[in-house]
Structures are given as structure tokens and as C-alpha cells.
Structure 1
Amino acid sequence: MNDTDVTLLWQQFRQSLEDTGSALGLSGYNWEELLVYGLGQLLVTLMIMLLFWLLYVAGCLLMRWLLGRLDRGAGPYRTGRVVLRYLLGLATLVAIVAQYGAADGVIKGMARAGLMALAFYVLWQLLSRGLITRLSRRHLDSSLVQLCKNTLSVSLMALGAITVMAQFGFDVLSIIAGLGIVGIAVGFAAQSTLSNFIAGITLLIERPFRIGDWVCIHGQEGRVVRIAFRTTWLRTRDNVFTMLPNDSVATSDIINYSAEGPTRIRIPVHIAYKDSVAQARAVIMPILSAHPMSINNDALTPRVQLRELADSSVVLSAQVWVSAQDVEVKGRISCELLESIKQGLDEAGIEIPFPHLQLHLDEARGLEPVFGRRRSADDDTTRNH
């Protein structure tokens, strides 16, 4: 491509720009000057960004050297690097906006708003760390700690946003009044959601159960895996997740199997009246003690007690304690023990009866002809043999 082709290409480009400007009503502009001005502004912007980047690198190196001499560790360095990056980024933004001819009020508002946002961020970091430390010392539930932290974050963010908007001339009082009216309307439209939210806070404060506890709520039995602001999540033995509204959870009967530690399993065992209770106990006790998940110590020992004299059997109660961590498999433990007890009683010759009736007829003369004929037939058969 020679100089003539380049000149021709440039003329075509200029003609295209002029035609485009005429179509958009922008005729009369010197596109060459605009292009040169735009390239110059872009070059200055890049130089400003390069300058502040070099300042950031130099500041990080200096800060690392100083903290290394003071032996402060990596935590202060990371925090200082974040603050330095934010300040230099704010300075870069203000310089670039000033370069393109922004008004003094806008530039000052941006600078003040940026510094105030940084102040609120530092305040949030300090308050949240102090709050978490104090609440952790009181051994509060992790969900309640998270709720307090989220409340603090939302409050500081709202206050910071209002303060930043005030720097740009917004009428903060009108915005707050409008948000209050909107909040009332949303409150009426979402009564159930607010009810579940308040109930969730109540559950986190009263703590009838914690994450990991095995509970029964509304007939739903499972392990608590999450306590959210609106719902409580349970995982059943079948690995099915159930979400219960906090409003219904707070007003229902709650059975917590894990709150007091070990739980007792009761297994009813029926034996015949002719068999010995002591013998059955001697068979069942080793089975209860030998199970790997049963607790066998001085305070919590397996036992077999006589519970009832039923119509057709003697009812024994085989009792064994399991730890709170094994409550989830309590059904499996009961099945394993029951199968072992059945096998042990069969081997010992102890009968496990089934319900039956024994009929006694006093002076049943109406049946005498029937039994008489049957008795005479049996006698004839005996004589023939």
C-alpha cells in the first residue's frame, strides 16, 4: 500500500465521519481536532492510572517493610493494603473526573462521599469484630450471632448510604419519609413473611433447639440442618429435607431428643406365662449390653423390667440408652436388638405367644349327642383293631 492509497483511505474515512455527523445533526465539528483531543485525554488518563498504580506498589512495599520490622504479621498488612487500594482508587477517580472538566461541587462531593464510605467500612469492621467476640464469649448460638451481625451491617449500610447521598445534594428527609411509607405498605402486603421473620428471631433467642439437634415438630421428625429467618429445615431419616415455616414452628409442640444428651429406647417383649421372667431377663440382658451403640456405665445401664400382665402373655420392657449422636439411627438400633432378642429367646426355648382364646364350657349338655357319637365311633375303631 503506497502513500496515495493511504491518503485516499483517510479521505474516505473523513467523508464517512462528516456524513454521519450530518445525519445526526452534528455537522460543523472538526473531527480531526476531536479525535486528537480524545486520544490526548485517553493518554492522560492512562498516565494518571499508571502513576497511582506505581504509588500503590511503592506503598505496599513500604508498608510490608515497616510491618516486617515491627513483626505485626500478615493481618495488618492485608487490611492496610485494602485501605491503600481504596484511597488511591478514589484519588484516581477524582483526578480523572477533574480532567474531563467536572464541576468543583461534584468533585468535592465525590471526595467527601468516598472518604465517608471508607469511614463507615472501617467502623463496620471494628464493631462487627467486637460484637462477634463479645457474643462468642457468652456461647450464643451461631445463628443468633449471624443475625446480630447482619442487623449491624444493614443499619450501617443504610446510614452510610444516606450520608453519601447527602453529599450530592439529595433531600435525605424526603427519602426517609418515602421509605417509611413504602415499608408500611410492604408490611401490610407481607404479613405472613414478617410473622415468620419475627418467629425466627424468637426461635433464635429462646433456642428450643439448635442446628444438629434431632427434633419432632408437627409430626415431622428429623435433624435440624438450618434455622433461617423464615423457615426451619429438617432432614429426616430418609434423607428428605423439610422446610417448616417459623410461625408454625414457634406455635407448635416441639420434642427435642438431643437437648438432654442420651436417649432411652424401650422395646416391648412378650413371653408366655409358663416361662420364667428371670430366665428371659438372663437371655436379653447380654444382648442389650453387647450392642455397639448401647451405653453401659454406672449411671445408664441396660435393663429388663416386667411392665404388664396381659391377657395372653407377660410383657417385658427391654431398655437401652444411646447417645445423642445416635438418635438418628434409633430405629435401626431397635430393629437390630429386636431381631437378636427373638433369636436368643428361640434358642433358649422361651415361647413368644400370640393372642388366643381358651374356651371352657360348663355343663354343655347340648353338645353331648355330638361328642357321644364321636366317642362311640372311636371305640368301635379300637375294637376292630
Structure 2
Amino acid sequence: MDGTFFTDVWNQVQKNITDSSDALGLSQVEWYALAAHAMGQLVVSALLLAFFGLLYLCLNKTVLLATRRLQSAHIGPGHLQTGLRYLFLLFTTLAIMAQYDVPDTVLKATARAGFVALGFYLAWLACSKILKEGLNRYQIDKSIGQLLKNMLSVLMTVFAAVMVLSQFGFDVFSIIAGLGIVGIAVGFAAQSTLSNFIAGVTLLIERPFRIGDWVKINDQEGKVIKIALRTTWLRTRDNIFTMIPNDSVASSDIVNYSAEGPIRVRLPLGIAYKESARQARDIIMPVLLEHPKIIQSSDMVPMVRMTGLGDSSVDLVALAWISPEDIDFQPGISAELYESIKEALDTAGIEIPFPHLQLFIDDAKGLKPLFEPLYSTRNASSTAPDTR
């Protein structure tokens, strides 16, 4: 019984497969001939890959030997190898497509598109080389140079894509119009991003600061690490990275501490009125001159000046110059100078006052009723006999 059941199931499965094949028109297909044709196509494709691969290896070896013998900086083996790989892929793709009976119109369009893309790549290499030489000749800022390179790459890519699509019969003008409509839609949807992008381009052109400058933007003080098209990166003295949108940077006050070279450090000080300002100056000056980070050139001499007469002190200020490379350590330098100045003034016996008030009561008879009972009680307790 079990054998009969399984036989019936198998016969039903075969019948279902046969009915499905008849309905799809697959019963007339010669599967053995189709399999033989497919295997033949795969073998031919493998032979084509091997042939073009061997040809690529020979040409690649020849290019490497030629560039080594020429030893010319103008010949880039990397770009030549990239071109050879591209040609290898293009010819291999065309040969394989021809084996699978792809229409001639598609083959020709693919070939034209491939050579158009190769032409744009060569044009991009030439323009990049010219741009690089121009940037080096005129010593253009690296940030602007990077912006120009990115713009060149984007423009070349867009034009290449449009021209490649045109080889397959696409309407170029319709594509450009569609891109314009998409650009308008994206512009409305990303107004903030576009605003930051335009502000970034403005910053790169006007150059209120450069990479490595120490700046203050929107109450954020730090060293400029990166100027991107959307944000500006700062690193604070606490090694905290801050990203500020370029739109905010362009519309705010910018203080650049590094733009004009050395900066001057101001140290407010105070001495008591009984002390001599001249003597304090003579004591503070050696401290400024002995510090290794203080500039001592003829036009940047450290000095100590009196700035005013305060409520409880004679106000002085110590002025010293430090180099742009030491701006990162300016708080530490100020702390070291303050500590050394205080030790020097303490050693010389010069008082550094603190704010205080003195109250003088000449004739306070109105307070006598308040304090007289207190004095009477204290005197009585002190004169009372000891009854213990």
C-alpha cells in the first residue's frame, strides 16, 4: 500500500510539471541544445576574458618599464594603469555583449559612451594638472585650491554623465531641464545647507582666517582645524572640537589672533599706595625678560606701565609679546608670569593689596544708649565678689 501511494504521488507531480511546461510553452524547448549553447557561450566568454587579461598584463608591464626608464615626473604610471584597466573592461564588455547577440545599435552606443567617458577622464587629468600648476605658481591658499578641484570634478562628472546618456538616445535638453527642476526643489528643501555652502565659498575667497589660525567666533575660541564647505572646525585649548555652520561664521564678528604675527599679553597688577611704582617696575622687568617664551626684539620690548590709581591699589600692567606658535599656551604663560611676579614682589617686601574698607567714627554719641547697658553689665559681673 505504501509503495502504491508514493507511486501515485510521483505520477501526479510529473503530470503537474508537464501541464505547467505546456502552459508556459516550455515543452518545445530543446534543453540539451540550450545547455550546450550556454556552455559554449560561457567558454567563449572565459577565453575572451583570458585574452584581454593577458593583453592588459603585457601592456601594463610595458607601461611600467617605459615610465621607469623615462623617469619623468610628467608621466603618471597610476593614471596610465587606470586607463589601461578601463580599456580592458570596455573591450571585454563589448566582446561579451557581442557573443550574446546584443543588437548592433546597443553595441555602438556602448562603445561611443565608453570612449566619451574616457575622453572626459583625460580632459579631467589635463585640467587638474593645469589647475595644480596654476595654484602652485600663484601660491593660492590650499582651501581655495581644494574648492576649485572639487568644483572641477563635479562639473566634469555631470557633463560626462549627460554626454554618456545622450549616446543611448536620451534627450540631453530634457535631462538638463529635469536637473534644473530637481535643483530648484532641492534648493527649497535644503536652504540651510545651500546657505552654509555659499557662506563657505565666501569664507574661502575672502579668507578672514586660515587653517592653523587661532580665532574667536561666536564666543568660541580655538584653532582652525578645517574649513569645509558647510562648517568650520575649531579645536579649543581643552582639545574639544567645535563645528560652527559657515552661515553663522560669515554673519558674526571674527577675531583672528594669528593674522598679524605675535600678540601682546597683558597682566593687570596692583601694589599698595605706600609702595614705589618705580621699584615694583624694576622688580617685575627681570621676570618678564627671563621667561623663555617672551619675545625680546627691539620693537617688541616687554614693559611695565601704571594704568591708574584704584580704590585700594596703584594699578599696573605688565606687557609682553609672544609668538603665534605659542598662542595655544598663552594661559599657561600668563599663569607662570603671575606666579613669578608674585614671588618676586613678596621677596622684595612689596605689598599686593586686596580691596578693603576702613570705618572711622569721630563722634558717635547717638550709639551711647545702645552700648552703655552692655558695658554696665560687664563691669558689674567683673567686680562682684566670689561667693563660692
Q: TM bucket by the smaller chain? A: 0.7 to 0.9
Could you tell me which amino acid in structure 2 is paired with residue 211 of structure 1? I
Q: What CA distance in whole angstroms lies between the structure 1 residues aligned with 2:94 and 2:300?
A: 73
Contact kept? 2:67, 2:75, Cα under 8 Å: no
Letter in 1 for 2:255: I
Please give the alpha-carbon distance, in whole angstroms, between the structure 1 residues aligned to 2:270 and 2:305. Answer: 12
- SS across alignment from 1:306: strand
Cα distance in 1 for partners of 2:71, 2:259 equals: 46
Residue of structure 2 equivalent to 1:324: 324
| Structure 1 Cα separation of the partners of residues 304 and 22 of structure 2 | 99
Compute the displacement of 1:139 (Å).
2.1
Q: TM-score, normalised by structure 1?
A: 0.86
The Cα of 1:58 is off from its aligned counterpart by 2.1
Deviation at 1:361, TM superposition (A): 5.1
Counterpart Cα distance in 1 of 2:119 and 2:20 = 47
* Aligned residue number for residue 145 of structure 1: 145
Which residue in the other structure is 1:195 paired with?
195
Tell me how far 1:24 sits from its aligned partner.
Answer: 8.7
* Letter matched to residue 310 of structure 2: A
Query: For each residue in 1:259-279, what CA deviation from the matched residue of structure 2 results, as whole angstroms up to 9, or x when unmatched?
Result: 111111111111011111122
In structure 2, the residue matched to 1:223 is 223
CA deviation string 1:195-227 (max 9, x = no partner)? 111111111100001111111111111111111
User: Does the CA contact (< 8 Å) of 2:268 and 2:317 recur in 1?
Assistant: yes
Moved more, 205-214 or 52-61: 52-61
- Report the AA paired with residue 266 of structure 2: R
Give, in angstroms, the shift of residue 234 of structure 1.
1.1
Tell me the residue number matched to 1:315.
315
Worse overlay, 355-364 or 282-291: 355-364
Q: Is the 8 A contact 1:287 1:337 kept in 2?
A: yes
Instruction: Please tell me the residue identity of whatever aligns with 2:21.
Output: S
The letter for the 2-side match of 1:246 is: N
What code does the residue aligned with 1:88 have?
A: F
CA distance in 2, matches of 1:45, 1:352: 93
- Tell me, in whole angstroms, the C-alpha distance in 2 between the residues paired with 1:214 and 1:124: 36
Q: Note if contact 1:289-1:296 (Cα within 8 Å) is conserved in structure 2.
A: yes
Cα deviation, residue 298, structure 1: 1.4
| Equivalent residue runs for 1:200-349 within 5 Å | 200-349=200-349
Shift of 1:122: 0.6
Equivalent residue number for residue 96 of structure 2:
96
Q: Secondary structure, in 3 states, of the residue corresponding to 2:77?
A: helix
Q: 1:69 to 1:307 in 2, by over 3 A?
A: closer
Alignment of 1:26-41 (within 5 A): 26-41=26-41
Moved more, 339-348 or 358-367: 358-367
Partner residue in 1 for 2:52: 52
Corresponding letter in the other structure for 1:315: D
The equivalent residue for 1:116 is: 116
SS at match of 1:102: coil
Deviation of 1:363 (Å): 6.0
**CA 1:171/1:188 → structure 2, altered by over 3 Å: closer, same or farther?**
same
Aligned mates of 1:195, 1:71 — CA distance in 2: 47
TM-score normalized by the length of structure 2 = 0.86
- Counterpart amino acid of residue 162 in structure 2: I
Q: Which runs of no fewer than 5 residues in structure 1 stay unpaired?
A: 1-14, 378-385
SS of the residue 2:232 aligns to: strand
Is this contact kept in 1: 2:233–2:241, CA < 8 A?
A: yes
Contact 1:312–1:353 (CA under 8 A) maintained in structure 2:
yes
328-337 or 345-354, larger mean C-alpha shift: 328-337
Map residues 39-78 of structure 1 onto 2, 5 A cutoff. 39-68=39-68, 70-72=70-72, 75-78=75-78
Report the CA distance shift for 1:71/1:366 in structure 2 as closer, same or farther (over 3 A).
closer
Q: Tell me, what secondary structure is at the counterpart of 2:292?
A: coil
Q: Is the 8 A contact 2:231 2:244 kept in 1?
A: yes
- Structure 2 counterpart of 1:252, which letter? S
When residues 269 and 70 of structure 1 are mapped into structure 2, their CA distance, relative to the original with a 3 A threshold, is: closer
Which sits farther off after the overlay, 253-262 or 242-251?
242-251
Do the aligned partners of residues 71 and 185 (structure 1) sit closer, same or farther apart at CA in structure 2, a change above 3 Å counting?
A: closer
CA gap of 1:73–1:356, structure 2 versus 1, over 3 A, is closer
Which deviates more from structure 2 when the two are superposed, residues 43-52 or residues 282-291?
282-291
Q: 1:6 corresponds to which residue? A: none
Report the secondary structure of 1:265's partner residue.
strand
| Greater mean alpha carbon deviation, residues 85-94 or residues 250-259 | 85-94
Could you say what secondary structure the match of 1:269 adopts? strand
Secondary structure at the residue paired with 1:243? strand
Post-superposition offset of 1:355: 1.5
* Secondary structure at 1:317 match in 2: strand
Aligned residue pair count:
361
Q: Give 1:293 shift.
A: 1.5
**2:356 matched residue in structure 1:** 356
1:360 Cα shift? 4.5
**Residue of structure 1 in register with 2:21 after alignment:** 22
For residue 380 of structure 1, what is the aligned residue in structure 2? none
Q: Is the 8 A contact 1:67 1:73 kept in 2?
A: no
Q: Which moved more, 1:38-47 or 1:53-62?
A: 53-62
Deviates more, 1:111-120 or 1:231-240: 231-240
Three-state SS of the structure 1 residue aligned to 2:265 is: strand
Deviation at 1:46, TM superposition (A): 0.7
Question: Cα offset for 1:86?
Answer: 1.7
Change (3 A) 1:255 1:360: same
Q: Distance in 2 between matches of 1:74 and 1:219?
A: 48
| SS of corresponding position for 1:174 | helix
Aligned counterpart, 1:85:
85
Measure the CA separation in 2 of the matches of 1:94 and 1:19: 39
